[in-house]
A and B are shown apart, each in its own frame.
Chain A
């Protein structure tokens, strides 16, 4: 019974934790402009993140080493260092977006300007990182994030033309009035939103935080293979809600209040309250994860002691890094930059940085010195090589597409 509860908790946490501000914004923006014709990207991204997370969790559980420790060993300091800089910057950008997301969600509740919420949000994130145990932090944020299921509920309530939605998804084509490069730009953005690099650092370091061993592998596999696809369905629900409400009216989504509008239309004030709770929980959880990831990446690359399982005094450089990251993110947001714009850039840059983090995991998952008998099977390797090609393609196409389309304008 305890095992079933454990698995259920893991799966629910994975679903609730899957969606962050990047998924929220990108899916809504895409739904409003392209309907469901980019749904296939979400599917590709979900399979990718399942593969990715599974491998990195397995590497951490079997070898006792987390992602960045291994990246430096396998790539050498020069390439590993370039990887660190890119990953660190992208994760910091994502952290800034998440803290901005918290502030935006709080604005929806309180009508207080987001800039005033930013220091509160940043401080709250730090306080939780400082005092709350890792597993509690993960579970609470994940479970509260399940409130976002209200998007799926709202979708049903809105009574959409299901045939139309399915048709858009199964026969993707560029909408009238949109250019082909813009379609592909948003494909890359959606891909980056689903396969965020920080997820891998976080997942593998989290495996070490919770001291996973080989016995925990099957549970982690369940969490990933059940939880992440369901989280992907949630992303699709967000896109579908935007498609149903905004696409026919040719309205672009640019603000968080628009993203929640379909839910408010479908379920009134109560549904709106639930969705805001879900957004605050999901972005707060993601802010915790990205802040921890900034600490993990730097500490693991440079060999510092790290981890929430150590008292802060024993991981001083790790905690200092997170404090500095939060302060920098806060300062950036206080300049008044639009957090939604920050989010849109963070997902594209995530796609650009993805190959750097993915290749070492694929290689180490095959390394018998680390993995013993748990090296990748042939099917995993075949899928891994396919994804390597996809990830490289997305990464290389991102900047030209961004320049061609003016960042999706």
Chain B
């Protein structure tokens, strides 16, 4: 599949309740080294937000604070975003993503490098 199949797809829990939309896919570079220089990125989790539309500039994840007014407004738009690990995803296709019943929600913050 391609990434834009997943982006903006609706997310449902095991009971069919709508939780939000996929706004991003968190990747971790620990896949196989397939004859290249960098290891292949593996899907680590999905970022789920109450709204679609590009998380404008990732303000809610990086703690960027300036310009102050813009930062505050942009953070508000994606309040309620959470991370779901790929292990908790049961099915993923353009019609929607279904999570396992026992999924856990994590903070969407990107760890400091």
Show the binding face of A for B, using Cβ within 8 Å.
74-76, 78-79, 362-363, 366-368, 375-376, 381, 384-385
CB–CB A375/B66 < 8 A: yes
Which residue of the partner chain, among B54, B64, B67, B68, contacts A362 with CB atoms under 8 Å?
Answer: B67
Q: What are the residues of chain A within 8 A of B57 when measuring CB–CB? A: 74, 363, 367
Q: Which of B42-81 contact A (CB under 8 A)?
A: 54, 56-57, 64, 66-70
Assuming the A-B contacts A74-B57, A76-B54, are A381 and B64 also in contact, with contact meaning beta carbons closer than 8 angstroms in the complex? no
Q: Total A-B residue pairs with C-beta atoms closer than 8 Å?
A: 28
CB–CB A363/B54 < 8 A: no
6 sampled A-B residue pairs with Cβ under 8 A: A79-B54, A363-B57, A366-B66, A376-B67, A381-B66, A385-B70
Which residue of the partner chain, among A76, A79, A381, contacts B67 with CB atoms under 8 Å?
Answer: A381
Q: Closest approach, in angstroms, between the C-beta of B81 and any C-beta of chain A?
A: 16
Which size class do B's interface residues fall under?
Answer: under 10
Bound-state CA distance A363–B65 (Å) is: 11
Q: What are the residues of chain A within 8 A of B70 when measuring CB–CB? A: 362-363, 385
Known: A76-B54, A79-B54, A366-B67. 4 other contacts (CB 8 A): A78-B54, A367-B64, A368-B64, A385-B69
Q: Which residue of B has the minimal Cβ distance to A380? A: B67
Q: What are the residues of chain B within 8 A of A76 when measuring CB–CB? A: 54, 56
Q: What are the residues of chain B within 8 A of A381 when measuring CB–CB? A: 66-68
Assuming the A-B contacts A74-B57, A363-B57, are A376 and B66 also in contact, with contact meaning beta carbons closer than 8 angstroms in the complex? yes
Q: What are the residues of chain A within 8 A of B54 when measuring CB–CB? A: 75-76, 78-79
Q: Which residue of A has the minimal Cβ distance to B70? A: A363
Q: What are the residues of chain A within 8 A of B64 when measuring CB–CB? A: 366-368
Q: What are the residues of chain A within 8 A of B69 when measuring CB–CB? A: 385
Q: What are the residues of chain B within 8 A of A368 when measuring CB–CB? A: 64
Bound-state CA distance A333–B57 (Å) is: 41
Q: Which residue of A has the minimal Cβ distance to B59? A: A363
Q: Which residue of A has the minimal Cβ distance to B71? A: A366
Q: What are the residues of chain B within 8 A of A74 when measuring CB–CB? A: 57
Q: Closest approach, in angstroms, between the C-beta of A237 and any C-beta of chain B?
A: 36
Q: Closest approach, in angstroms, between the C-beta of B31 and any C-beta of chain A?
A: 24
Q: What are the residues of chain B within 8 A of A385 when measuring CB–CB? A: 67, 69-70
Q: Closest approach, in angstroms, between the C-beta of B109 and any C-beta of chain A?
A: 16
Bound-state CA distance A385–B69 (Å) is: 8
Q: Closest approach, in angstroms, between the C-beta of A375 and any C-beta of chain B?
A: 7
Q: What are the residues of chain B within 8 A of A367 when measuring CB–CB? A: 57, 64
Bound-state CA distance A384–B66 (Å) is: 11
Q: What are the residues of chain B within 8 A of A75 when measuring CB–CB? A: 54, 56
